[in-house]
């Protein structure tokens, strides 16, 4: 097969679907994985008709530890290897740390931290051997700012994704493998509908803070092609990320604490 293959997790909507369309527009075949089979099939048909590329759909729940291996085994059975990986699957758990059972947090960590790390670990050897690869880890502006009350593990996992991507970027310099972390702020998608925070977010986040999923994914694609280790799309988000580096940690934490009632349970993406 001459065309390269891009694997996109959380591909059924939002940033993931936008990434799938962008990679298809650049001639990649597309492997789509998410939990919602009907959404995947609809997107796969759209991409096939519009771009004339091959699409594969794999219904999988990354909260199940065996899913990363099963996804890649499915592709191997179809004679395909992963040339571009977009670790996009994600969600938020609103509320304070003790407001959810540990099983909820454990599933969250599996999806947000373990699964993307395992997928990268499994596909990197082949990318290095072929001297070509692209890995985009979708992080968040929340991973670049101090922790806030509520959604306790979200910022922590996104901070991990930023540092993880930076390290992989350095480890793979000169190999033809590019690794980038994409750190968007508030993005128009179904993200906040899934965790039932849409009404709260709409009231408290001004319109100028929001970007479209297509705009965010395009920035991530360009960053990976340019081999930039981190991409923060949107001028307001860039300003926030820069400002946090300039003020003392205790000031930043005090600001997050003062905004607790307003920001509780909110996550950027």
* Half-sphere CA count of 6, side-chain side, radius 13 A: 29
SS3 content of the chain, % helix, strand, coil (to 5): 55, 15, 30
Average pLDDT in the chain: 90
Active site (catalytic) residues:
154
Largest CA distance in the chain: 56
Judged by DSSP in three states, 189 sits in: coil
Beta partners for residue 87, in sequence order = 137
Whether this prediction's pTM lies above 0.85 is answered by yes
* Residue range 194-209: mean pLDDT, rounded: 54
Q: Assess contact for 27 and 3: CB atoms under 8 A.
A: yes
Dig out the tokens for 176 from the structure. 């033809």
Q: pLDDT digit string (tens) for 134-151?
A: 999 999 999 999 888 888
The predicted pLDDT at position 263 comes to: 46
Q: Is the pLDDT of residue 264 over 60?
A: no
Q: What is the pLDDT of residues 92-101, one digit of tens each?
A: 999 999 999 9
> Which pLDDT score is estimated for 210?
76
Give strand ranges (E) for the chain.
5-9, 29-34, 55-59, 84-87, 133-138, 177-182, 187-188, 211-212, 230-231
Q: Residue 170 pLDDT > 80, yes or no?
A: yes
Phi-psi region of 256 (alpha: psi -120 to 50; beta: other; left: phi over 0): alpha
Question: Picking from 74-78, 104-108, 166-170, 193-197, which range would have the lowest pLDDT averaged per residue?
Answer: 193-197
> How far is it, in rounded angstroms, from Cα 194 to Cα 177?
33
- Residue 137 CA to residue 146 CA, distance in Å, equals 20
Rounded CA separation 12/121 (Å) = 24
Distance CA 22, CA 25 (A): 5
Which residue, 55, 62, 65, is CA-closest to 10? 62
Helices 152-171 & 115-130 angle (0-180, nearest 10): 10
Question: Which range, of 104-118, 123-137, 155-169, 249-263, averages the lowest pLDDT?
Answer: 249-263
Is residue 220 scored above 50 in pLDDT? yes
* pLDDT score recorded for residue 198: 42
Report whether pLDDT(133) > 60: yes
pLDDT range class, residue 250, cuts 50, 70, 90: confident
Number of neighbours of residue 245 by Cβ within 10 angstroms:
9
The answer on pLDDT for 119 being more than 90 is: yes
């Amino acid at each position: 097969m001459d065309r390269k293959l891009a694997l996109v997790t959380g591909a059924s909507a939002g940033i993931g679907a936008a990434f799938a369309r962008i990679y298809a527009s650049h001639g990649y075949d597309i492997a789509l994985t998410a939990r919602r089979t009907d959404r995947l099939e609809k997107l796969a048909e759209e991409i096939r008709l519009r771009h004339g590329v091959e699409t594969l759909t794999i219904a999988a729940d990354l909260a199940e530890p065996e899913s990363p291996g099963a996804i890649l085994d499915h592709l191997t059975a179809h004679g395909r290897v992963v040339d571009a990986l977009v670790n996009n699957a994600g969600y938020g758990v609103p509320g304070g740390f003790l407001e959810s059972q540990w099983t909820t947090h454990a599933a969250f960590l599996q999806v947000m931290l373990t699964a993307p790390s395992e997928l990268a670990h499994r596909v990197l050897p082949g990318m290095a051997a072929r001297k070509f690869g692209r890995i985009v880890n979708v992080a968040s502006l929340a991973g670049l700012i101090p922790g806030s009350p509520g959604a306790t593990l979200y910022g922590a996992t996104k901070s991990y994704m930023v540092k993880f991507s930076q390290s992989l970027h350095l480890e793979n310099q000169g190999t033809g493998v590019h690794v980038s972390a994409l750190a968007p702020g508030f993005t128009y998608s179904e993200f906040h509908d899934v965790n039932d925070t849409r009404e709260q977010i709409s009231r408290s986040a001004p319109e100028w803070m929001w970007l479209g999923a297509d705009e965010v994914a395009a920035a991530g694609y360009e960053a990976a092609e340019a081999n930039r280790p981190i991409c923060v799309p949107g001028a307001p988000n860039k300003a926030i990320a820069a400002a946090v580096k300039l003020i003392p940690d205790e000031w930043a934490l005090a600001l997050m604490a003062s905004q607790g009632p307003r920001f509780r349970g909110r996550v950027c993406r």
